[in-house]
């Protein structure tokens, strides 16, 4: 059980530290933690956001616990050297193609949402986002047109095998939940989406127990704020999933509570909070570590099959919240370590 711990930038190290304390407290036999540098922190120390040494650690590990990357002061660098490339590089290099982003409202926290509590209180959905393809990883560039205008361009594409494997991930996730899968695309405009939809329908034949529906992404954005409780599992491409998952997290209203998993074929996965590096509060011991602690729970469940330990962590977080111990993101005043201590005590 070798777990790579990549804390990264901003609040990444602070929140990861608390999640590591929680993992260690479980005293799981054979668990070994190995740290590595990613993001802006790695760039400053090694001249690259995803150094070869970090990739080696990742490849030798069974799972990765990830903090956050992002550092505005490095935004002037060429794209390949920016902190974000660490997470994009890990996704690509390790074949992390299935991104699971659950968004659920915790009981008693319905008011955090900007939606009415009777609407937000029903949110319990899972976004399955494709993570290895789409316009993210297509060819891109800037060029000068004949008339002298500059043009930026990015190639959007999906090959059928790429769609098929995320389709299977989506259908399997739906089987484990309510048996409903909503595929989100823009097939009324994009060829990429038409193929996506065709393949979704093909794969659905193998899952007669799952009800497949389709929705255009613009409508999905509306429905997410109108009636988010109607969604269960959403499967979508990389770009739409990026946007909708942020939207879903804001519907919940507590970005500091949402965990995510990025899975490869098999058991390997990278687990990270969905909030970013939050430079505005970095180093102030204010960040809420719960999303990272919950990511550690996802790690134990998906990569190691340790359901019981995962559930213990989740119960400890829920109990901490129920006792009113909340970070600033939730309208409370508890600091990073205080929340970590509270979760540990309840564990």
- Active site (catalytic) residues: 136, 186, 218, 242, 246
Would you say 254 and 332 are in contact if contact means Cβ atoms under 8 Å apart? no
DSSP label at residue 135: G
Asked whether position 130 contacts Mg ion by CB under 5 A, the answer is no
Q: Where would I find the H helices in 26-70?
A: 39-46, 52-60
CB of 94 to ligand IPM, least distance (A): 15
From Mg ion, ligand IPM, none, which one binds at residue 84 (CB under 5 to 8 Å depending on kind)? ligand IPM
CB of 244 to Mg ion, least distance (A): 10
92 vs 170: CA distance, rounded Å: 19
Pairing status of strand 32-35 against strand 2-8: parallel
**Residue from 9, 84, 110, 329 binding ligand IPM (CB under 6 A):** 84
123 counts as binding ligand IPM under rule CB under 6 A: no
199 contributes a contact to ligand IPM by CB under 6 A: no
Using alpha carbons, list the distances in angstroms from residue 252 to 57, 156, 242: 34, 30, 16
Identify the CA nearest to 272 among candidates 263, 260, 283: 260
Q: Which stretch binds ligand IPM (CB under 6 A): 59-67, 80-88, 222-230, 331-339?
A: 80-88
9 binds ligand IPM (CB under 6 A): no
Distance CA 338, CA 228 (A): 33
Interface with ligand IPM includes 156 (CB under 6 A)?
Answer: no
Sign of the torsion formed by the C-alpha atoms of 297, 298, 299 and 305: positive
Contact predicate 106/257, CB 8 Å: yes
Stretch touching ligand IPM by CB under 6 A, among 13-21, 39-47, 82-90, 296-304: 82-90
Residue 242 binds ligand IPM (CB under 6 A): yes
Q: Does 162 bind Mg ion (CB under 5 A)?
A: no
Our finding on whether 242 is near Mg ion (CB under 5 A) is: yes
**Closer residue to Mg ion, CB minimum distance, 249 or 309:** 249
Name the site residues for Mg ion (rule: CB under 5 A).
Answer: 242
Name the site residues for ligand IPM (rule: CB under 6 A).
Answer: 84, 87-88, 242
């Amino acid at each position: 059980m070798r777990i790579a711990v990549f804390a990264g930038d901003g609040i990444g190290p602070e929140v990861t530290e608390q999640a590591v304390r929680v993992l260690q407290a479980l005293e799981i036999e054979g668990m070994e933690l190995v740290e590595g540098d990613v993001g802006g922190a790695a760039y400053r120390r090694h001249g690259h956001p995803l150094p070869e040494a970090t990739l080696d650690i990742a490849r030798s590990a069974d799972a990765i616990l990830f903090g956050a990357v992002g550092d505005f002061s490095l935004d002037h660098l060429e794209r390949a050297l920016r902190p974000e490339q660490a997470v994009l590089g890990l996704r690509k290099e390790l074949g992390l193609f299935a991104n699971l982003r659950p968004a659920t409202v915790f009981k008693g926290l319905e008011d955090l949402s900007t939606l009415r509590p009777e609407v937000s209180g029903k949110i319990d959905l899972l976004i399955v986002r494709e993570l290895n393809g789409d316009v993210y990883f297509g060819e891109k560039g800037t060029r000068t047109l004949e008339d002298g205008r500059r043009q930026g361009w990015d190639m959007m594409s999906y090959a059928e095998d790429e769609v098929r494997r995320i389709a299977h991930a989506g259908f399997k996730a739906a089987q484990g939940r309510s048996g409903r899968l909503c595929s989100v695309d823009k097939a009324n405009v994009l060829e990429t989406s038409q193929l996506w939809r065709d393949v979704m329908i093909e794969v659905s034949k193998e899952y007669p127990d799952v009800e497949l529906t389709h929705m255009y992404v613009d409508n999905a954005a509306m429905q997410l704020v109108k009636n988010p409780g109607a969604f269960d599992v959403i499967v979508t491409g990389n770009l739409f999933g990026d946007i909708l998952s942020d939207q879903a997290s804001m519907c919940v209203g507590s970005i500091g509570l949402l965990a995510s998993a990025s899975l490869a074929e098999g058991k390997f996965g990278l687990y990270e909070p969905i909030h970013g590096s939050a430079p505005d509060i970095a180093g102030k011991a204010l960040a809420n570590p719960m999303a990272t602690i919950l990511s550690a729970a996802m790690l134990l469940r998906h990569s190691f099959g340790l359901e019981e330990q995962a559930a213990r962590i989740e119960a400890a977080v829920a109990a901490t919240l129920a006792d009113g111990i909340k970070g600033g993101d939730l309208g409370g005043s508890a600091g990073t370590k205080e929340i970590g201590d509270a979760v540990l005590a309840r564990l």
